[in-house]
Structure 1
């Protein structure tokens, strides 16, 4: 389906699916942080990619989608996969030091990384004065929230977790740019996702072994539930739903709704983990949302 045949307006079904995805993505950070009491961050991220990757492969096989034919996408796929692995290493390790509420706000700096990098890939996509204003608002918002990690941190090394959240956002944006700037831009969505999950599974599990992280001896029902939610519901089902939305609806219309993800993350952190939400963080989220609207308008 090309851009001309995509629906320009979101119907009720699309809105419902999109809001459900954003809710799941917001809760995902909470599930990851809660599971850290029973499994190390690198094993958690790596095994999640293993399970989700196998599910994507089975899904594609059942639908007759060819994933392993030569199409010149190997280089871009390996790069996207390594960036994806580094992103989730930063997120899962960072959650040991900062709250899930703060992490979900910092990683949504990613759209601005894409906006800054896109002119280098697509030379016709230059930033307007309004978009530059949006970038400045967003960076000011992140700096405002980041400063709280030094002035009144909730944990001793909160600033380190916040910094890893910002790094994850840069890596997420880099993954998007790697996909747009390589043969992956014309590959099937399932193949693009499998590259990211497959490469990250190998890289993250190898990093866990190198770091000496122990695998959990006993998988409690709680851990199985938290891990299953991340691997099956988020990394497999919600990502495939998102790719379906991108194929059928205008991306600019979808982008605005993703602003609800940090809000869902804040609420989930407060309700499920009892995390405090400061006025500074709420103000930073509002400014971040305003910046995204300016950049994507």
Structure 2
């Protein structure tokens, strides 16, 4: 893996793209909440992946991008789909045992796992001590932002449900980070963004829909317009457009520098919740957001090594 081509540090284009992506991913939290009353979450994820898979297939057909030619990416592609499906499953089962805010703290260990994996397996992705301090600072910002929800769930953390939910949150973060490392450090690093995304969506669709059926989470009473709009947003904007852009960015820029931007996603999620759902907003959240931004700035500060690469 260490011989793979080096990527460059994020430039203005990458920074703007990542902010837009994190905004889209953050708004997805609002969309999921709106659709939860009509569609079970795991079924939502499976349907989203299925619709997005069809959209990627149409996209590649219209652009003449080959999806099924032999290029030694099949094993890595199947694994990427399994990791993604496993991540969603861990989040779903974890949320059935704990609060969303407590889950968020453990889930956003993902950029830490990503940075560690890339440091060990991919040349040109190692971070300096200052950059590692930026990751720690950004993670502490997330922990501060969700401190109330984390503490509210701590009373049950000593029970088996609490231990299991916390473990599932960390496992989801590990699987998320592992997916990024796999895409960057395997044969998928040389595949098109469309093909990488097709693997992830197609495999995860099969796994998630099977899991929904096995868990008895396939019943839908009705589909009001708002639920349909929320599902469409998840499938078209998030799973198709934003993920396609994400994998495109991974073919050109350093994944360790990009992944730290994902700390902005829950910040956007809370912000949209305040603006659209009337949720509470505190001064401490502003401090936490500043910590996240400062951490991202530290990770992406220019270095001599990055400049010479």
TM-score, reference length from structure 2:
0.77
Give the whole-Å Cα distance in 1 for the aligned partners of 2:134 and 2:22. Answer: 22
Shift of 1:95: 5.3
For residue 30 of structure 1, what is the aligned residue in structure 2? 30
Shift of 1:36: 1.3
Contact between 1:10 and 1:249, CA under 8 Å: does it hold in 2? no
For residues 65 and 150 of structure 1, do their structure 2 counterparts lie closer, same or farther at Cα, with a shift above 3 Å needed?
closer
Contact between 2:261 and 2:296, CA under 8 Å: does it hold in 1? no
Give the whole-Å Cα distance in 2 for the aligned partners of 1:249 and 1:120. Answer: 18
The gaps in structure 1 that reach 5 residues or longer are: none
For residue 130 of structure 2, what is the aligned residue in structure 1? 130
Match of 2:244 among 218, 227, 240: 240
Residues 1:175 and 2:179 aligned together: yes
Residues 1:291 and 2:286 aligned together: no
1:47-85 Cα distance to aligned partner (Å, 9 max, x none): 100000110011001111000111111111111111111
For residue 223 of structure 1, what is the aligned residue in structure 2? 227
Give the whole-Å Cα distance in 2 for the aligned partners of 1:292 and 1:9. Answer: 13
For residues 59 and 86 of structure 1, do their structure 2 counterparts lie closer, same or farther at Cα, with a shift above 3 Å needed?
same
Residues 1:98 and 2:99 aligned together: yes
For residues 279 and 10 of structure 1, do their structure 2 counterparts lie closer, same or farther at Cα, with a shift above 3 Å needed?
closer
TM-score, reference length from structure 1:
0.80
The gaps in structure 2 that reach 5 residues or longer are: 302-309
Matches within 5 A, 1:156-171: 164-171=168-175
Give the whole-Å Cα distance in 2 for the aligned partners of 1:126 and 1:24. Answer: 28
For residues 180 and 145 of structure 1, do their structure 2 counterparts lie closer, same or farther at Cα, with a shift above 3 Å needed?
same
